[in-house]
Structure 1
Amino acid sequence: MPEEVLFSSESDHTRTEIASYLRRVADALDRDDAITLTAGSESVRMDPPERPTFEVKAEREGPTDGPGELSIEFELEWPENGETKGDAGDPLEIE
Structure 2
Amino acid sequence: MGREVTLFSSKEPKSRSEVATFLRSLADRLDTAKVTLRQGQDEIVLSLPDEMTLELKVEDEDKRRKGVQHSLEVELKWYDGDSAAGPVSLG
Q: What is the TM-score with the length of structure 2 in the denominator? A: 0.83
CA–CA separation in structure 1 for the residues paired with 2:49 and 2:84: 15
Give the conservation status (yes or no) of the 8 Å contact 2:57–2:73.
yes
Q: How many residues align?
A: 89
Alignment of 1:5-84 (within 5 A): 5-32=6-33, 34-62=34-62, 67-79=67-79, 82-84=80-82
Larger fraction in strand: 2
**Aligned residues with identical type, % of pairs:** 35
Q: Tell me, which stretches of 5 or more residues in structure 2 are unaligned?
A: none
Q: Which residue of 2 aligns with 1:88?
A: 85
Q: Which amino acid aligns with 1:39?
A: Q
Indicate the SS of the match to 1:27: helix
Q: Tell me, which stretches of 5 or more residues in structure 1 are unaligned?
A: none
The offset of 1:87, in angstroms, is: 5.5
Give the conservation status (yes or no) of the 8 Å contact 2:56–2:72.
yes
What do you get for the CA RMSD once the two structures are aligned? 2.1
Check 1:54–1:9 CA distance in 2 against 1; reply closer, same or farther (3 A cut).
same
CA–CA separation in structure 1 for the residues paired with 2:61 and 2:47: 31
CA–CA separation in structure 2 for the residues paired with 1:40 and 1:61: 31
Which deviates more from structure 2 when the two are superposed, residues 67-76 or residues 2-11? Answer: 67-76
Q: What is the TM-score with the length of structure 1 in the denominator? A: 0.80
CA–CA separation in structure 2 for the residues paired with 1:87 and 1:8: 25
